Structure 1
Amino acid sequence: MSAEIVQLVEQAGPYLSAAVGAYGAAVFSRAEDAAVGAAADATANLGQRILQAVWHRRDDQDRAALETAVQEAAEEPDDGDAAGALRQQIKRALREDAELAREVAGWLPVHGGVTVNVSGTRAIGAQHIDIAATGDHTTIHPPQP
């Protein structure tokens, strides 16, 4: 299960980072929004949900360590060591609580999914595409036999 936990924490990483970046140490006391508008909010809210679930299942000493890791990651968003310390706290909690690990896994999107974000004039996004044309006065000729 150790490799599965590592993969789970890697998958949760962007959500945790979004939550820490958006809410900082208040992530543990902030009430989760009932209605989520923007995708960034949804990402941060899922990260908050994960952090709160871990926090509620820890003892006082482990809660203090988790709070410290969140605070340091919030204060130093570009510090890979601070982010790593937070991931380590989450990893430890998931290893020690199989039910929590299953719960968190159920909240995360299914592996193998594809997300394509596209914006801008004439932008095209696709997982598989044969022909794409975005220019003015474009003519596409079918292949000749």
Structure 2
Amino acid sequence: MLAETICSAVSAAGLGIAALTAYRKRYLAATRIAAYSLVPVALVMTGLVEWVTGIVFKPGVWIGFGLLALAWVLLATTRAVERRGTGTRKERKERKAATGTAPAAVAPAPAPTTRPRQTPASPAVTPADDFSDIEAILKKHGI
């Protein structure tokens, strides 16, 4: 009953503010305020407010939420400990291969028939060469 009264009062106040805003010839803003102020009354009329207050003021519901949170924390903790203790995927695969429980090994890929391109050795770059490029750019821009 109290929640319904509060929602009705909020809606009435919102409609009053919308009327004042419309009086100042800001019709778009007044329409928006009126729309928002009708929401609490609509929630009361649909019964949603009664349902929410029934949930909020029941200790059993809060105990249930607490148990859900505890379950989530326990699951997250065990996941973190499991990940920390087992190592990386590569280490796990190596351990499985060592114990013989790994799936059958895949045949290696055939060697490529073309030769890989060899890049010519780059000449040694000295710090002076690096700064000469920068100096040329700065001179180009007049700095």
Q: Could you state the TM-score of these two structures normalised by the residue count of structure 1? A: 0.22
More RCO (CA 8 Å, sep 6+): 1
- The structure whose Rg is larger is 2
The structure where helix makes up a greater share of residues is 2
